[in-house]
Amino acid sequence: MQKIKIAIAGQGNYISSIYLMLKVVPEVEITGVYCIGDSEFHQMSVGENVPVTTELDGLKTGSIDVLILSGIDEKTEGFIRGLVSPYVSVIDQKAVDLIKLILKEEEQLLEFKKIQRKLTFILNSVHEAIEVADINGNIIYVNPAFTKVTGIPEHERIGKNILEVSPDGALATVLKTGKDIFGLRTKVGGSNSEVVSNAAPVIVDGRISGGVVVFQHLTDVMKLMDELRQKTSLIENLSEKLGQVTTSKYSFNDILGTSPDFSKSINLAERSSKSNSTVLLLGESGTGKELFAHAIHHASPRREKPFIKVNCAAIPENLLESEFFGYAKGAFTGAIKSKIGKFELANGGTIFLDEIGDMSLSLQGKLLRVLQEMEFERVGGNLTIKVDVRVIAATNRNLRDLIRQGKFREDLYYRLNVVEITIPPLRHHKEDLPMLSNSLIIKLNRKLGKKVIGLSRDAEEALYSYDWPGNVRELENAIERVMVTVDDEIITKENLIQHVSQFKNISEKDLDLIPIDRMEQILIRKALLKFGNTVEGKKIAAQALNISLATLYNKLKKGRPENKV
């Protein structure tokens, strides 16, 4: 096709916009741009092949088909018309304005079509079925997912009336009522597909112009709901697990005592912490078995994993199994969801079975299987759960006597008793009383907001004279009871007798008789604790004990190597 040759004449700010509109039209060739008056229109604005000039004589000789005039007065327009051939079509300012309006409308139409294409692409990509109808109910659009869900091809749906093909559906209801529809369960007209729909009216300029419905197949919704329930259950179980998981609160630095027997127990516990072997802690109530269990876990390679405690004596026998192993949903009345047991919570870490001697024989057998196989089933479940758990057990009862009485399984005893640690009662290491008392006073000062400095000499003698059947736990209770009730900085024997019932009958004649060399060691440790273990501290300690420094060193050497002085 032969190009139309066009010349443009007028003022620069007018002709520039015309030029920009026409230069992109393939069928147009701009032969020249003529600037009127003092207006400027630079060559670089139009390109090298289009001459730009203020000389109008070129219009006489130039070969053009159309002359466009813009931004000039009537006199100048008449003059320019006289320059060109009568066969040249002249377009004046009014015609230019009309062309601009037409081009603007065309541009907006093109932009709308672009948006429409993008919107169609988006709707076609959506996995949910979409159907659109106009105000009269005529179906004007369905996306590919509609055919996938319903099995109805697009060409069989477009042009039909929704009020006829699916009069009870969500889209028809919206057109009738003008109200939004949420979660309507229905069948698609012309199909057996059962779906869940959401629909809404299409509002244009404040008036309803149609409606749109989005729906999914019921099986897909049910599948999503099932997945949601599973995820919710998983979150609940993890939340429950997180709420129950604890780690060790104490280390070996928290275990105080330097007597030979007590130091021996600490050393054995420290060595056992490096392995995964089962540990059996034996000792009277209040000796610190739980403290040892925490410290062993804290020093073990499992320290970053859970430390789970179960008091076998505190949980009713009929609940202990489900506490250990958890239970499956529906295992019994009230089991509305599954529950994670202590062994599962402790996976990768340590489980501390306190008061193991109070466990029933039937549960002992199940515990033995877990220790042997490291696997179990939840109560009411049939799924075998494997775990990796280090077991620490403790009891204040004589398990050998229980075995003879038929109350404790011998095979379980040997399975538990891989490393046996006996924690001595406080009456067997009274030399640790000053250290324990001072530590408890510091702890209770923080707890009670007190400023107690320590014990008087007669108070210490009273502590030595008592056998402490409740051990360290009883000692802590006694000191706390006194600190709560008195405001003195020094706790005296009188305070103990006045506020702690077990000291009311104590007198000088009640003081225990112990070997002199053991008393010496007690006094030496007490002096070093008071004055320090440095050379200068030992000099002051020797003076306080009324012995020479050399004698002090000799007496220190008599102590066992494991003594921590």
Whether 252-424 and 4-103 are alike in CATH topology: the answer is yes
Q: How confident is the model at residue 564 (pLDDT cuts 50, 70, 90)?
A: very low
Residue that wins the pLDDT comparison between 226 and 145 = 145
> Quick check: 211 pLDDT over 50?
yes
For position 71, what pLDDT does the model report?
A: 79
Q: Quick one: fold of 4-103?
A: Rossmann fold (3.40.50)
Q: What is the mean pLDDT of residues 3-9?
A: 86
Tokens standing for 98? 């009309």
Tokens standing for 276? 């995964």
Tell me the pLDDT of the chain averaged across its residues. 82
Number of Cβ within a 10 Å radius of residue 304: 9
CB 493 within 8 A of CB 461: yes
> Quick check: 562 pLDDT over 50?
no
Termini Cα distance of the chain = 112
Q: What percent of the chain has pLDDT over 70?
A: 83
> Quick check: 56 pLDDT over 90?
no
The H-or-E segment that residue 393 falls in is strand 390-395
Say which amino acid occupies 250: Y
Q: What is the mean pLDDT of residues 442-447?
A: 90
Tokens standing for 545? 């004990």
For position 266, what pLDDT does the model report?
A: 94
| pLDDT tens digits along 220-243 | 656 666 666 666 565 555 555 554
Residue that wins the pLDDT comparison between 92 and 240 = 92
Q: Is CATH 3.40.50.720 what the domain over 252-424 is classified as, yes or no?
A: no
For position 222, what pLDDT does the model report?
A: 61
Q: What is the mean pLDDT of residues 145-153?
A: 85
Lowest mean pLDDT among 158-167, 244-253, 418-427: 244-253
For position 498, what pLDDT does the model report?
A: 81
CATH superfamily of 126-220: PAS domain (3.30.450.20)
> Quick check: 80 pLDDT over 70?
yes
Q: How confident is the model at residue 338 (pLDDT cuts 50, 70, 90)?
A: confident
Number of Cβ within a 10 Å radius of residue 231: 10
Say which amino acid occupies 341: G
Q: What is the mean pLDDT of residues 334-349?
A: 82
Please give the Cα distance from 381 to 464 (Å, whole number).
Answer: 56
Q: What is the mean pLDDT of residues 310-320?
A: 82
Say which amino acid occupies 81: R
> Quick check: 39 pLDDT over 90?
no
The 3-class secondary structure across 56-125, one letter per residue, is CCHHHHCCCCEEEEECCCHHHHHHHHHHCCCCCEEECHHHHHHHHHHHHHHHHHHHHHHHHHHHHHHHHH
| pLDDT tens digits along 238-265 | 555 554 556 778 899 999 988 888 999 9
> Quick check: 92 pLDDT over 60?
yes
Number of Cβ within a 10 Å radius of residue 20: 11
> Quick check: 38 pLDDT over 80?
no
Nearest to 385 by CA among 397, 372, 401, 373: 373
Lowest mean pLDDT among 141-150, 234-243, 345-354: 234-243
Tokens standing for 14? 């007018």
Q: Which residues contact 432 (CB under 8 A, 6 or more apart)?
A: 256, 257, 258, 259, 262, 426
For position 509, what pLDDT does the model report?
A: 43
| pLDDT tens digits along 473-517 | 999 999 998 998 888 889 988 888 887 777 766 544 444 555 677
Q: What is the mean pLDDT of residues 458-478?
A: 88
Q: How confident is the model at residue 196 (pLDDT cuts 50, 70, 90)?
A: confident
The H-or-E segment that residue 201 falls in is strand 194-204
Residue that wins the pLDDT comparison between 473 and 464 = 473
Q: How confident is the model at residue 218 (pLDDT cuts 50, 70, 90)?
A: low
Q: Which residues contact 537 (CB under 8 A, 6 or more apart)?
A: 528, 531
As a CATH number, domain 427-511 is 1.10.8.60
| Sheet of strand 350-354, all strands in order from the earlier edge strand to the far edge | 307-311, 350-354, 390-395, 279-282, 419-422
> Quick check: 565 pLDDT over 50?
no
For position 206, what pLDDT does the model report?
A: 83
Q: Domain boundaries in the chain?
A: 4-103, 126-220, 252-424, 427-511, 513-565
The H-or-E segment that residue 377 falls in is strand 375-377
Tokens standing for 1? 């096709």
Tokens standing for 552? 């002090």
Q: Is CATH 2.30.30 what the domain over 513-565 is classified as, yes or no?
A: no
Q: Which residues contact 223 (CB under 8 A, 6 or more apart)?
A: none
Q: What percent of the chain has pLDDT over 90?
A: 22
Residue that wins the pLDDT comparison between 43 and 303 = 303
> Quick check: 126 pLDDT over 90?
no
